[in-house]
Amino acid sequence: MQRFVVLCALFISFFAASVLAQSNSLDQYRLGSGDVVKITVYGQDDLSLETRLSDVGIINYPYLGEIKLVGLTLPELESYIYNGLKGDYLVEPSVSVSITDYRPFFINGEVKKPGGYPYQPGLTIDKAAALAGGYTERASKTKIFIVRDTEGSSTTISVDRSGIVLPGDIVTIEQSFF
């Protein structure tokens, strides 16, 4: 019985850690062109909006004017809007910002249907390849690369099949030698 309890505790802590890691990665997620953002101010319909970010990533928000959203995290945007509305316009605004549609990711190389696909939270290389029709018979299981934009510059990283894919990533599955 004690062994069962220990195994259950280990399982629960592992599951909680993975959920927390996913949550933390979304808190650190930076908005980019193509994302659809929903801004809600409780009780203030005229201050709530939903918009797809353009390449410029600037929106015109009531009372605050132009706000550049590209590169901001959701908590940063919430804080900016909260602080901008607090005082002059509202006493204690209740601001919520969410992403209703992420920008797509792209996958090319040794998959059956290369192209752009809608991002889904929790996406791994294997899941991305499945969306693209699966690996070809020549696909390498070890030569997998992601080109990721991080704070204005592109970085190429080598990953394994369990690597995490983020919105806007370009995944390349190389051909194996044998």
Contact 124/163 with Cβ under 8 angstroms? yes
Q: What is the pLDDT of residues 94-141, one digit of tens each?
A: 999 999 999 999 999 999 999 999 999 999 999 999 999 999 999 998
Which pLDDT band, with edges at 50, 70 and 90, does 27 fall under? low
Domain boundaries of the chain, sorted by first residue: 36-101, 105-175
| Backbone phi and psi for residue 95, each to the nearest 5 degrees, phi listed first | -105, 135
pLDDT tens profile 52-75: 999 899 999 998 999 999 999 999
Q: Residue 153: its pLDDT value, please?
A: 83
Helices (H), 2-153: 2-27, 74-85, 125-131
**Domain at 36-101, CATH class:** alpha beta
Is domain 105-175 classified as CATH 3.40.50.1000? no
Chain segment 65-103, per-residue pLDDT in tens: 999 999 999 999 999 999 999 987 788 999 999 999 999
pLDDT above 70 coverage of the chain, percent: 84
Nearest Cα to 104, choosing from 31, 35, 178? 35
